Structure 1
Amino acid sequence: MKLTALLLSLSLTASAAIAQSDAASEARDAARDLEEAAVALQQAESSRNRIKALTQVVQSYEDGLAALREGLRRAVIRQQRLEAQLVQQEAEIARLIGVLQTLGNNNSPTLFLHPQGPTGTARAGMMLADVMPALNAEAAELRDALQEVRILRELQLGAADTLQSGLDGAQAARTALSKAISDRTDPPKRFIEDPVQTALLIAATETLEGFASGLTDMSPEPEGLAPLPDISHRRGKLDLPLEAEILLYPDETDASGVTRPGITLATRANTLVSSPVAATIRYRGPLLDLDNVMVLEPQPGLLFVFAGLGAVFGEVGEVIPTGAPLGLMGGNDPKIDAILSQSGEGSGQDRTETLYIEVRDGKTPVDPSEWFNINKDR
């Protein structure tokens, strides 16, 4: 009975420990995506629309790197759980091996006699016959667990080169995109900026609200382009301009004691920020203490403000399509050692940059969830 209980305990523990995981395969898929992004980067140089092609390449790199980080994180967690559970089973496995060795090494037939006589002996033999297949299955599961641990370790050892290659490729794609944008000639414009008027507004501005209100009062004469289509039907459906997590919702106070009507997002360094909708660039550049700011006007009187970028693209007055690159977040890509050391921690450890988004209807700030698809459940 002790042997049966021991095997049952070992079986339940091993079954829980060796639940199948696809963390390793997900990490490999992400590495393959990064290889495909590298090929796409070479092809983008000859594309008819280099800016669009390079924008997609940068996003592919970002998606691949994010997936690889997540795959590594899950792989590390999986490995740690397996190793911990195998350590917990070590004592039970040792006891089981001891019992089996005792049975196998002793040739005395009396060892197999049951105190209850022939009937008890027969029952004990039947019990052992039932136990052996289960024991073989446990041995196979343990071999699988040890093999999975080995695979996960090898995956982490090879991850450094893959991550470095992906980071280098992403930076090359960002550089190529910046150059392609700066090389453009005569982008379509709705109006020509008056730099003196803009400078005066900035000089007189003490708050983002005051600046946005001043922009609303400045109504440049259009240059003959057709008006942008009404986007009222897209209320609440617009995608956020980058992959990020929401840190603060409207009217929540930050660590500095500041309360704002928009949302604050946490994202990774150098992440590409894209336009969620076709719009006119009303302002781009540094403002107050908000780093670089991009203000879009998708329709008259409606302003989308993006503050906290490290670099901004385009020109004031330019009309941009949905998905057009607006700029890049600041910061520096983390070192490989830092990425690997964070793999076993919770997600979001590398989201060091923040982007603030404010929506203004006329001179009144509105909840960004009225326009953007934001899950407000916490």
Structure 2
Amino acid sequence: MEREYTSRNEQPMMRWCWIVAVMVFSTALGNEPASLDERQARLETLHEEIGEIGERIAAERDRAGGVEAELARLEQRIGDERRALAGLDEQIQANAAEVAELESAVARETAEAQQHRAFLAATIRSAYRRGQADMLRLLLGENDPAEVQRLLVYQRHLGAARAHRLTQAQDALQSLQARRAALSEALARQRTDREARAVALATLQSSLGEREALLADIEDRIERGDAQIASRREEAASLASLIEEIEARLGEERLGAEPPDLPARQGELDWPLEGPLLARYGSQRADDLQWTGLLIGAEAGTEVTAPAAGRVVFSDWLRGMGLLLIIDHGNGFMSLYGRNQALYFEVGEAVRAGDVIATVGRSGGRHETALYFELRADGEPIDPVAWLQTGGHQT
């Protein structure tokens, strides 16, 4: 009769052991390490970097923000320079066209002045010759002196008119030449200014290219860091998935040994060990996550005790947690103990409050020896400090 009773009670336990074994085996197949040592070595390499990833990503994001602001300023300046160059090009084009028109006008005025000058010279020579002949005729008495005088006055007036037109043409030419010189000087200044702005624009564009390359490099580093963070989150997700699977599979087969009044024991449970709190529930981690449990510092080999009675539902190595022990206390309460050096209970074994269940270590590739302690209610993490006795640890 006793054998039959034992067999009936062992059936659900064997079923549970098989579930956990399959889960652990599936987790192990994810990376297919040749040995546990190699897997732990890879994890140790990963965790040597993971502690700095969060801070490095935050610094890179701050730096990226600064580079983006600088890019915005450079792009604004480049836009201003392009607008200034476009305005200068329009002015240069207009002034060059006006200079060309002035060149044509100067050429026309020069030709006209030359014509006036030549005609005036011819007129003067002709008047001189006629004046000499008229004077000779006047002296010889061949013509009326009044007529001769009238002709001389006419010649003088004609010469004066020609001289006046020549003076006007020369004044117009000088005005055009002065305007052309001023406009040419302004055009030369504008072209010099344009060359300087073109050099400044090229420098700005070069700086922009450098900043864009720098930003791309920063974003690439952030992306790689995010990938590493994602890998770390996968580890946390694997643990959460394990807890959910345990909760779902247990159902009516929960093996809790704690009486139904466990929720009433809030603030009365013993601490699993004494030591400084290295991380509190809800505090920020370096990998951009929050702690869902406590990290209690202790020397390697320090004994870990169960705060309450229950039954072991997981006792094995888990990625990111090292050697992990999970106790089901019934009523939806479970406690987790990670990073251990050794585990003293197997799946299915009953645990009493105060039993030594493990020893502290740094398994899972950790650098510091500490116990990771987590308490869950209905699969969700809760603050263990609220359930443990006050003063049961070193602050």
TM-score (norm 2): 0.39
Work out which of the two has the higher radius of gyration on C-alpha atoms and give 1 or 2: 2
Q: Which has the higher helix share?
A: 2
